[in-house]
Chain A
Amino acid sequence: MKIKYGLISCDSHAQLHKDTWTSRMSKAKFGDKIPQLRETTDKEHMIRASDKPVERWFVHGKVVGERGTVNCPTVMGDPLRKTFPQRWEEVPALVYDPAERLKALDSDGVDGEVLFPNDPVQSGTFFQGDAEFELACVQAYNDGLAEWREFSDRYIPLAIIPYLSGIEAAAEETRRAVKKGHRGILMVAEPSMVRKGLKHFNDPWWDPLWATCQDLGVPIHWHAGAGIALRVPRWKGFTPNQGQAMGPAGGFANQAQFVPNLIFSGVLDRYPKLRWVCAETGIGWVSYMLESCDHEWERRHLWTQGFVTRPSELFKRQISMNFWYERAGIELRHSIGMDNIMWESDFPHSTSTFPESRQFVERCLKGVPEAERNQLCYGNALRTYGLN
Chain B
Amino acid sequence: MELKYGFISADDHVQEHPEVWTQRMSKAKWGDRIPRVERQSDGSERWVVDGKPVDLGGVAIAGAAMPDRAREPQRWEEVPAVAFKPGERLTAMDVDGVDYSVLYPSVAGRAGETFASLADADLEVACVQAYNDWLIDEWASVSPRFIPQCIIPLAPEAAAKEIRRAVAKGHRGVVMPSVPMMLREVPHINEPVYDAIWAACQELDVPLCFHAGATREIQFPPYAGFSPEVAATMEAITRPVSSVLVVANFLYSRILERFPKLKVVFAETSLAWCAYELELADHQFERQRLHTEGYDILPSALFKRQCHMVGWYDTTGLKTREHTGVKNLLWSTNFPQATSTWPESRQAIARCFDGVPENERRQVLVDNAARIYNLK
Contacts and interface: CB of A to CB of B under 8 A. Distances in A.
Contacts of B190: 235, 237
B373 interface: no
A285 B249 contact: no
Interface string B290-328: 101100000000000000000001111001100100000
B59 to A, nearest CB: 19
A305 B241 contact: no
A307 B340 CA distance: 21
A293 B284 CA distance: 28
Q: How many residues of B sit at the interface, in one of the four size bands? A: 35 or more
Interface string A29-58: 000000000000000000000000000000
A80 B292 contact: yes
Contact of A245 (B237, B240, B247, B284): B284
9 contacts: A200-B223, A232-B249, A249-B277, A249-B280, A292-B240, A300-B232, A301-B70, A328-B279, A328-B323
B121 interface: no
A297 B339 CA distance: 10
B142 interface: no
Interface stretch (B17-25, B88-96, B268-276): B268-276
A307 B229 CA distance: 12
A273 interface: no
B218 A230 contact: yes
A97 B230 CA distance: 49
Contacts of B191: 235, 237
A326 B283 contact: yes
A228 B220 contact: yes
Nearest to A203: B225
Interface of B: 69-70, 179, 181-182, 188-191, 217-220, 222-227, 229-230, 232-234, 236-238, 240-242, 244-249, 252-253, 270, 272-273, 275-277, 279-281, 283-285, 287-290, 292-293, 313-316, 319-320, 323, 338-340
A261 interface: yes
Contacts of B227: 305
The 8 closest A-B pairs by CB, nearest first: A284-B276, A288-B272, A249-B248, A253-B244, A328-B275, A257-B220, A287-B316, A245-B284
Interface in A218-260: 228, 230-233, 235-239, 241-242, 244-250, 252-254, 256-258, 260
Q: How many residues of A sit at the interface, in one of the four size bands? A: 35 or more
Nearest to A352: B287
Contacts of A230: 217-220, 242, 245
Contacts of A331: 319-320
A29 to B, nearest CB: 38
A228 B237 CA distance: 17
A293 B319 CA distance: 19
Contacts of A332: 316, 319-320
Given A233-B182, A300-B69, A261 B220 contact: yes
A246 B319 contact: no
A157 interface: no
A252 B248 CA distance: 11
A221 B248 CA distance: 25
Nearest to A78: B289
B242 A264 contact: no
A285 B189 CA distance: 26
Nearest to B291: A80
B188 A236 contact: yes
A329 B278 CA distance: 12
Contacts of B284: 244-249, 351
Contacts of A232: 179, 182, 218, 245-246, 248-249
B270 A291 contact: yes
Contacts of B292: 80
A302 B230 contact: yes
B181 A80 contact: no
A264 B233 CA distance: 10
Contacts of A305: 227, 229-230
A288 B270 contact: yes
A290 to B, nearest CB: 9
A216 B179 CA distance: 45
Contact of B288 (A256, A328, A350): A350
Given A245-B285, A257-B241, A288 B314 contact: yes
B187 to A, nearest CB: 10
B194 to A, nearest CB: 12
Nearest to B218: A230
B289 A299 contact: no
B280 A264 contact: no
A141 interface: no
Given A231-B218, A350-B288, 13 more contacts: A190-B220, A233-B179, A235-B249, A236-B188, A241-B289, A245-B290, A253-B248, A264-B234, A284-B277, A288-B272, A305-B227, A305-B229, A305-B230
Nearest to A307: B230
Given A237-B190, A305-B229, A242 B252 contact: yes
Contacts of A383: none
B70 A328 contact: no
A295 interface: yes
Contacts of A351: 283-284, 287
A303 B338 CA distance: 16
A257 B212 CA distance: 14
B337 to A, nearest CB: 10
A205 B311 CA distance: 39
A326 B338 contact: no
Interface in A97-130: none
A309 interface: no
A41 to B, nearest CB: 28
B197 to A, nearest CB: 16
Most buried by B among A202, A249, A331, A351: A249
Given A231-B218, A245-B285, A285 B233 contact: no
A358 interface: no
Contacts of B289: 79-82, 241
Contacts of B220: 190, 228, 230, 254, 257-258, 261
A296 interface: yes
Given A248-B280, A252-B276, A295 B339 contact: yes
Interface string A258-270: 1011001100000
A82 B182 CA distance: 30
